[in-house]
Amino acid sequence: MLAWYAATGRPLAFRATTDPYAVLVSECMAQQTQAERAAAAWTAWMARWPTAGDLAAASAADVLRAWAGLGYNRRALALHRAAKAIVADHGGAVPRDLEALQALPGVGPYTARAVAAIAFGRPVGAVDTNVRRVLGRIAAGGPEAFTPTELQALADGVVPVDHAASWTHALMDVGARLCAPGKPRCGECPAATWCRHAAGERPAAADAPSKGSARRRAEPAFPATTRWLRGRVLDRARDAPDGDWIPYAGPIGTHSATAVREAVLALADEGLLEAREDRDGLAARLPG
């Protein structure tokens, strides 16, 4: 696995550093975002805010503008709050301890372990959906064979002690490039010789759907979703001059004025916008 990664690993910009703050930023950006897109955003972000102290001193509005295109904008505010906590509670240095890492705003078990492994070389397994699938298939034919606690123990137990960062990247690359949910490319996988899934084994739980399982409903087209609307509402605020109040009086796309109003108020409740309502109607702007 390590040899395969050394020869074929994706040359993503953020993989060239083990700086803990830089790693934290990259992991927050790469969640549910295409790795190449996250890498481009990470490069610009690090040029603007190279330390946690620099980010902590930035305005929330500037942070949200810099996050444009990455989606899941609450992650931007969480990272901003994490930078403030790093400055206030840890003297500006990202903590090494797993418990302290996980106590940072927006940092869960996966991100804490990824930072610990990549930045500090700690032999802990960062388990996301891809890694869960890869390890579950190798060890038992599929992740269904394990409880989350068992899978985490497996992930922690197989990390090469002296190669925690490379191992973390290798597993992520195998999951993203080869071990697809539907049609894994087992013939190209460096773990195929030892993989029970490649050998045809499957956990009993994965053999057939349970009785009465409902067929999944078709997903609506993306422009019809609330997520799309929220993104457009926030983009209008991003594109406005700093501090200007933007009116939200009519429909956006196929979404009614009522749906737009609900989206604006929900974003304000989450801290992603500031909203006000007066005789001229509803208006919002990025938080200061």
Q: Which residues are catalytic?
A: 27
DSSP character at residue 255: B
Range list of β-strands (E), the chain: 246-247, 274-278, 281-285
Q: Sort 102 into a burial class: Cβ within 10 Å, 0-12 / 13-18 / 19+.
A: middle
Distance (Å, whole) CA 237 – CA 247: 10
Instruction: Please count the helices (runs of H) and the strands (runs of E) in the chain.
Output: 13, 3
Calculate helix-pair angle for 109-120, 164-177, nearest 10 degrees: 130
Bridge partners, residue 247, by sequence = 283
CA distance 28 to 12: 15
